[in-house]
Structure 1
């Protein structure tokens, strides 16, 4: 697991925590959807780099 994998996964988890927090605060749904898309993209990129599917 390289540094970029770790960074992507940590950022994804941070954004996922933001989704949970924003949902509890009853923020606008569009903002929550946008944040969740970013979280999923970060987590997916980190996992794909771990498994060697996406290499640079």
Structure 2
């Protein structure tokens, strides 16, 4: 598990971005939510590939 700290960090970044998506949707900022969605997918992909 100690070798996977980068993957764990990227997973937390992805979760943080999902929280941002929810916040942006509540504020009505659809374009920002889409951008954060793309970034969350990239962070999730990075976490999976790093694992």
TM-score, normalising length: structure 1: 0.77
Unaligned runs of 5+ in 2: none
Q: Superposition pairs for residues 30-49 of structure 1, below 5 Å?
A: 30-49=31-50
Tell me how far 1:34 sits from its aligned partner: 0.7
> In 1, distance between residues paired with 2:15 and 2:7?
12
Tell me how far 1:25 sits from its aligned partner: 1.5
Unaligned runs of 5+ in 1: 51-56
> In 1, distance between residues paired with 2:7 and 2:17?
15
Name the count of aligned residue pairs: 49
Tell me how far 1:48 sits from its aligned partner: 1.9
Deviation beyond 3 Å, 4+ runs, structure 1? none
